[in-house]
Structures are given as structure tokens and as C-alpha cells.
Structure 1
Amino acid sequence: MNINDIQALLKENSKDLSTEFKRLFHGRGELYEGWKHLTVDSIDEILSVALYFEMEPELEAELVEMFKDFISTCRHKTLVIQRRYIKGSPSEVVVGELQDNLHVVENGMKIKLNLLSNQNSGYFADMKNGREFVRVNAKDKSVLNLFSYTCAFSVAAKLGGARSVSNIDMSKSALTTGRENHHLNELDTKGVAFLPYNILKSFSRIKKKGPYDLIIIDPPTFQKGSFEATKDYEKIIKKLPQIASDNCTLLACLNSPDLDENFIIELIKELSPCFKFVERLENVKEFASDNEDRSLKNLVFIREVL
């Protein structure tokens, strides 16, 4: 695939653009040979490009010129390049300008966005179907949102009519953004808790707000000093029966390319067998991968009480 092929694909994927977020090119899925380092997103009038490793200067310059040409033919007015391979380097606004207080729109829900970071922007687009599942299944439920980050699951739950939500994350700044995300969606935060706990060390405090009718576990695959999926996921799973209500729904998420869905399914079968596997949610079609075992896993379980 060459740069002209990418431009043609962008034009094809841009026919139905709106204010809603849409991934236009997902090289990370390794479906396009030679371009696994590239992603391209449409965020209302912004075209956001991420490069995950360094390219030859001439080829990158040609790619950037193509993006400039592309945005002249569609709804985009601003071009942002994120060079994710440069630690601590801010993103570059190549064309146009970024307004203050940016947000992304997903199924009508608004999430604050920081495009000037070359790391996490505050929004994980591949989790769209997981958030929609929560929104549809949250009505009148007490929800526990573990590893909540900026609380997008909480916003989805409240929009779906959740009775209460407990957001747990070690990052106070992420929780502050989470509170702002609720206000951005004109949601009353009464009944919504933003708790800066170390999940693995705060079980007794988490348990006090239970039992929970819907539990979301969406951890990082690896975060030094916080969580490592291969050894820490089981510590949470074995405690689930103590905090879950009868017929509790569990959404267990895993985004490790090295662990397949059976890693979670077998752990739950061994450590919390009262939870029965129901389904793996489909991934967002724009995030297609050449190997689904390596892509995002959103696994749904239901507690069965005999």
C-alpha cells in the first residue's frame, strides 16, 4: 500500500462523516502492510494523525502533504500530528488551530479530549461498544467502575439511568477530568463517587459501597507499580463474589495482544465460578485486526446464584 492508496481509503471512509468520532485508518490492526505505525481519526472538524514509530523524513513529508491535500476536500479544518514514538513530545498542529476545551462525541456522549499530548488523549475510541453495552444495561443499577480513568463508562452508565456509580482510579487528575465529563453531559453527579484508591489495596473500602449490580474491570495491560494483567487480574476476580449482587453483570476488559479471551474466561471459571460467560462483544468495525485474539477483548459474564 502506498500513500495514494491511503488517500483513496480515507476518501472512501469519509463519505458519512459528522461531528461523531470515526477512525478512518487503523494501521495498528496490521491489515495494511507497511503501515502498522499509522492511525487517522476524524474528530468533528479535526483530522488527528498518530505515528507510532519514526519514518524516513522524505516519506513522512510526503504523507503530511497528502493529509493537507485531503483536508482541503472534506469537513476538516485542522490537522494534528501526534508522534507517539517521541517521549514527552507535544503534538504538532500542522494546519488550523485547536480550540480550548475540546471534546469528542460518541453516540451523542461527550468526552473531554487532550490532543496536545502525545500519549493518552483521555479517550479510548476502541471501547465504544463496551460503553454502549453499559449504557443499555445500567438502568436502576449500582455500578462499580474499576480503573475508571476519565470515567467514560460512568457517563455511559448515568446516561443509561444507573442509580449510582463508584469510579475507582489511582489518578486524581483523571478523576477530576471524569467529574468534568459528567458536567459536560449535563449529568448530576449526585450518587456518583470519584475515589482515588489503589484498587488492589482498597478492597474493604470498595466493598462498603456494594453490592454492585454491574461491575466493569478495564485495567491497563501493564502499568508499573499499579497493575500487571498476568498476575494482578486474578486478585480482583477472586473477590468478585463478595461485592457482586445476585445476577450481577460483569464486563471484563482486556487489551493485551499477548493474552487471548481464554485468559479471563479460565480465571473466572477457576476463581469465581458463580459467574458464567455469556459473550464477547464485537469490536468496532473500524478497528478491525488481522488477528482478533490480539485485539481488544470485552467479555460479558452473569452471576448465577443457585
Structure 2
Amino acid sequence: MHMSLGDLKELLVSNSHGINEEYTRIFHGRGNTYEGYRFLTVDSVDKVLFAVLFEPCDEEDAIVSILRDFFCAEGKWEALVVQQRYLPSSPSSVIEGEFPNETYAIENGLKYRINFLNAQNIGFFPDMKLGREFVRDHAQGKKVLNLFSYTCSFSVAAISGGAVSVVNVDMNKNVLSVGRENHRLNALDTKKVEFMPYNILKSWSRIRKEGPYDLIIIDPPSFQKGSFAATSDYEKIIRRLHEFAAEECIVLSALNAPELNSGFIKTLFCDNAPEFRYVERLKNLDSFPEKEEERSLKNLVFKKEP
């Protein structure tokens, strides 16, 4: 769809109908469905209207002006924040209003701590909503392993869904600290939750010790310099699954690299963990339209055959 600035304004208005405190993507240009606006996303996050510019563009001032007018006309938020992701350190600026004392990502009644002003990623990935719902719906009575846990949103979903225990593994201690806070925010019992600040690829014996696990989540970054590259390292995880998977283990295997399709993951399981049967690919949210589906988030479910 070819778009003008006027079209953008109309889309923002139409997509904001019925918005409440829940995290909502109002405009998703990243999926190439809106020609010329791949560099822009706009989210409603609790009391904040949050826009991200991923690339510099000649129309940036005009886009910010449209966002300012939209913010003022709607009157639904306390602050308009714009992040220039393309600049070093990805600075965010409060363009209108006053930044609230407390702002959360709210999803299905659960709260997650976020940080707009001091980080490239705010601490929450909204496109994973249906993945978190899957984990919550399948966690009852299960021991859960959450690899590349980041701020532990899967863990929050699992514990709220009745998981017996969750082990979160991420080499970044800071995001695990946010993860602890996310459990406390939702009055969830952290006695059932473990936070391991380890490099997953070097910590198999420690991870195995807490198993076997009934539900395993693998949600790595596509590429993290010096620690993980999906093209070469994902296979190392799949190859090890048999060491810590319970008899009827379910695996949610996520991949957000646009250049790798779902066949990449299916082949890894077929070649390295043939005891796991492919079950389904979870749907993605309609609010994250993608011109080429295989370039979008891929959440694949596998189940171990007893």
C-alpha cells in the first residue's frame, strides 16, 4: 500500500479506536505493508504514546508534527515519546506532555517494567503476545525452562498460568533483575523461579541440573556480538534438548530473524532432535502486518514423542 502523510494520520486515528491501558501497536511499518514507512512504529503503552524511527528520513519533522497533533487531539496519553533508533545510543525524547512516574507494558492483566529513556529496547517485545499466551495456557503443573529469558516475560506468563517452577537463563544480570521485579509487580511467588546469569552455550550442566523440563522456551536474539548467532548457534541448543527434556516435553522455538524462514528451525529439529514432532506455527498479531509472512516472527511448537 502506497502511503502519504495524510494516510498515516488517518491510520493512526482509525487504529486507535477502543484503545485502553493494554499495550497496542497503532502503526507497524516494519512489515513493508505500508510503502515508504518501513522505518516507523507507533505504540500505545499505558500512559505513553511511543514512536520509533528506525532510519533517518526527509519527512521526520512532518511525521513528528503529525504525531504531536494526534497526541493532543486524542487526549489519551500523558506523554509523547519519540525514539531515534538510527542514532548512536538510540536517544528517546519527550516531545509533548510530562513523562509519568510509573509506566508499564500491560498485557492480559499482567504488568511488565519498561524503560523508555535509557535503552535501545524498552524491555518488552509486544509482538510476542500470542507466544506468552501459549506458555500461560500450557504451563499448569509444568517445570519450565526459559532460555534467553531477557526480562522474563515468559516466566511471568508461566507462573501466572500455574507452572510448578521456572528457570530463566540470560547472561545479562541487569535484565534478570528487571525480571525479578516483573514477578513482584504481579505478586507472583519468586520462590518458584530461578534466575541464572549464564552464557547458555557454556552452562549446559548447570541448566541440566534443574531439569528435566516439561516446557522449554527458546527465544534467542538473531545476533548478539560475541555470544550468539542464530545461523550457527541455534543448532547447538537443539542438539542438547534430549539432555534436559522430560518425556512429553513441549518446546516453543522462536526465531525473529527476517532472513531465516521457518524451514530453518524445522530442519534443525529434524536433523538434531528427531524425537520432537512439529506441531504448529503460532499466528502473529494482526496489528503487526507483514508483506512476506516468512520474514515475520516465527513461533514454532514441537512436542517430544514418548
In the alignment, which residue of structure 2 is the partner of 1:250?
251
Q: Aligned runs of 1:44-123 on 2, under 5 Å?
A: 44-56=46-58, 59-74=59-74, 75-117=76-118, 119-123=120-124
Distance 2:107 2:134 in 1: 13
Task: Quote the RMSD (CA, aligned, Å).
Answer: 0.9
Helix, strand or coil: the match of 1:266?
helix
- Matches of 1:28 and 1:8 in 2, distance apart? 18
How many angstroms apart in 1 are the aligned matches of 2:165 and 2:291?
39
> Which blocks of at least 5 consecutive residues in structure 2 are unaligned?
none
Distance 1:39 1:15 in 2: 17
- Distance in structure 1 (CA, Å) of the matches to 2:57 and 2:118: 20
Deviation per residue, 1:40-74 (Å, 9 max, x gap): 00112211000001122xx2222111111111222
Amino acid corresponding to residue 71 of structure 1 in structure 2: F
Secondary structure of 2:226's aligned partner: coil
Which AA in structure 2 matches 1:133? F
Give the stretch that moved more between structures: 117-126 or 26-35.
117-126
CA separation of 1:89 and 1:246: change in aligned 2, threshold 3 A: closer
| Contact 1:83/1:118, CA 8 A, preserved across alignment | no
Q: Distance between the aligned counterparts of 1:42 and 1:224, measured in 2?
A: 31
C-alpha deviation, 1:100, in angstroms: 3.1
Specify the SS of the correspondent of 1:28.
coil
Partner of residue 3, structure 1: 5
Report if the CA contact (8 A) 1:80-1:92 is conserved. yes
Matches within 5 A, 1:1-306: 1-56=3-58, 59-74=59-74, 75-117=76-118, 119-305=120-306
For 1:185 and 1:264, how far apart are their aligned partners in 2?
A: 33
- TM-score relative to the length of structure 1: 0.97
Deviation, structure 1 residue 3: 1.2
1:143 CA displacement: 0.1
- 1:89 Cα deviation from its structure 2 partner: 4.2
1:30 Cα deviation (Å)? 0.4
- Residue 149 of structure 1 deviates from its aligned partner by 0.4
Show structure 1 runs of 4+ deviating over 3 A.
none
CA-CA distance at 1:109 after TM superposition: 1.1
Aligned residue-pair number: 303
The offset of 1:77, in angstroms, is 2.8
Deviation per residue, 1:82-118 (Å, 9 max, x gap)? 0000011420000012223421101111111111135
In 1, Cα distance between equivalents of 2:180 and 2:46: 23
SS in 2 for 1:129: helix
Deviation at residue 234 of structure 1 after TM alignment:
0.6
Q: Which amino acid aligns with 2:249?
A: C
- What's the CA shift string for 1:274-302, capped at 9, x where partnerless? 00000000011111100011110000000
Identical aligned residues as a percent: 53
User: Given that residues 78 and 99 in structure 2 are in contact (C-alpha distance below 8 angstroms), is that contact kept between their aligned partners in structure 1?
Assistant: no
Structure 1: runs of 5 or more not aligned: none
